[in-house]
Amino acid sequence: MSAAHATEPADPALDERDLRAAFGRFATGVAFVTAHVDGTPFGLVVSSFAAVSLEPPMVSFCPSRRSITWQRMRGARRHTIHILRARHGEFARRAATPGADRFAEPDVIRDALAAIECDIAAEHPAGDHWIIVARVRWLRVACDGQPLVYFAGRFGDFQPH
């Protein structure tokens, strides 16, 4: 698929509410992506984090193309992806709001299930989002804990069976 096809408008027969509902039926984890630019911390919440490759170690995430925060963060050399725990649901709700103080709760970053520090390897426009592919440089993994899950427009926890 060419880049031109990726930015074409949706079929008029597709209702945006139905599309959101269909996409929302795929449960995802929630991550907090952070970076420092000129000494200032920036962060944004994403539910589009994915492992891409083990060799070389690569991940991806997809910020909105309209995100002012991402526009400020994108030039940073390093980004850290913090995989949020189930108990971080309130933080994620607040932090997803434009203009929120995303660093008012520093324990969220220290308490993440995993922290993955990476360098951006590629950035691809994809409709109203960017697909960011990043090379993993360092990581920290917690021994235990439950992930924060996003499903049908709501945050929740994972119930193994």
| Number of other CB atoms surrounding residue 54 within 10 Å | 8
Alpha helices in 25-149 (DSSP H): 68-73, 89-95, 107-110
The mean pLDDT value for 16-40 works out to 92
- Numbers of helices and strands, H then E, in the chain: 5, 10
In this prediction, residue 81 carries a pLDDT of: 98
Would you state the pLDDT for residue 105? 87
The 10s digit of each residue's pLDDT in 61-119 is: 999 999 999 999 999 989 999 999 999 999 999 998 888 999 988 899 999 999 999 99
**pTM beyond 0.75:** yes
Cα 78 from Cα 53, distance rounded (Å): 18
**Which distant-in-sequence residues (6+ apart) come within 8 Å of 93 by Cβ?**
155
Q: What is the dihedral of CA 98, 113, 136, 77, to 10 degrees?
A: 40
State the maximum Cα–Cα separation within the chain, in Å, rounded to a whole number: 48
Taking only the tens place, the pLDDT of each residue in 108-160 is 999 999 999 999 999 999 999 999 999 999 999 999 999 999 999 999 998 88
Is the domain 29-50+74-161 a CATH 3.40.50.880 member? no
What is the pLDDT averaged over residues 54-61? 98
Query: What Å distances lie between residue 20 and 88, 156, 161, CA to CA?
Result: 23, 18, 28
List the 28-29 sheet strands across, edge first.
28-29, 148-151, 154-157
CA distances from 127 to 9, 66, 95, 130 (A): 8, 11, 23, 8
